[in-house]
Structure 1
Amino acid sequence: MAERPFEAADLEALCRWDTPTICNALEIVAPARRGRGFTFKPFTAADPALPPICGVARTGRIRAAAPSGRTREQDKAARLAWYEYVAEADLPTVVVLEDLDETPGTGAFWGEVNSNVHKGLGALGCVTNGSFRDIDMLAPGFQILGVVNPSHAHVHVVDHGGEVSVHGMPCAHGDVVHADRHGAVVIPADAVRAVPAAIDLLARREKVVLDMCKRSDFGIAALREALAQADEIH
């Protein structure tokens, strides 16, 4: 079992908040990460109503525009090796899958079968610049952020376990990934347990401003007062 400065319960607790809130908290607990470590291109969420997910990353790379050049048996072996890799986890996982094609999403890796297989292997969902299909038949509760495409074309696993990049978010094996319909962010391991307190601080500061906005006498003077009061909250 890997040595980590957090436990499964800490990751589960972070699912109480959406990904933008997690990003806000990281501005406090990991300020050097303010401008990086998150996705910045739009996704389609398989089910926008699903709650946020948070788990350790299982990373891989795929292609689909052309055949792999391997034999059928070699492709099957590569797929099985991928499944074994995903299954070897002591915590819930989030798959981060980079599509290397010139036009990412040419072929869908995700659909009814793979969503159910990965859910059964302990994955909560996937963040990918690739595509998914079978929208109405995906495993219940399994979130996918990607693009929609009806065909799997020549989709095949290229490799797994290395660093990948999805929509501007670099991600390595074992990184903590938080995701929802807004996108995804990597949370530094040593920041995981500090995030809830930072969210509480931000919520208390924001409440002062939001409460002031609801007052009948709200204006620039009141806003200036609220911002000053918020700055004093620690």
Structure 2
Amino acid sequence: MKWQRIPLGPLQTNAYILSNSNKDCIIFDPGGDAQKLLSIIKQQHLKPIAILLTHAHFDHIGALDGVRVIWDIPVYIHENEKMWLKDPALNGSLYFMPGHEISVKEATHLLKEEGEITVGSFNFSLFNTPGHSPGSVSYYCKDIGAVFSGDALFAGSIGRTDLPGGNSEQLLSSIHKKLLTLAEDTIVLSGHGPETTIEAEMDQNPFLHGF
């Protein structure tokens, strides 16, 4: 099983593809540039089976319909943001991309409870990690020792909390109680920027000290 990071869209938001030896794959946060993402998937002869969203801000969902229309695959999102996919005001595209608002079809699976989820042969532990947005979630994959953290935790930083539904205290609590409890060698696959590790962020992230 392996992962790859693909920056997409106007903010170069990280989409991720997690694939296994059978060429099945999960797509995380297809944020834009649908044709680029489709080309990579087809060149590698991968077979997408689902799209998992960490949250529904516009820069994480821009290519959603462009991808799922090809393979007719399910989409997972936390129930707190189920309306954000269709609403440009909620997903932020109305304000950040005037004239290019994003409205995509609703998700097929709404996440609520934390715990183990299985998609095909892929197994994840789901953590609710709100603060950047009310429905932010993180997907921990034990098989690869990595967590797909969306915009909760970055290398040397944390997600912004000045957008609608953001809450800085809630975000710091999410990071400390959910993400920093993972093994220190866990790879953090963030929504923007390079990968990092839990150990590196515990030691070096200035936003996490003094909480």
TM-score normalised according to structure 2 size:
0.23
> RCO higher in 1 or 2 (8 Å CA, sep ≥ 6)?
1
Quick check: which one's strand share is greater?
Answer: 2
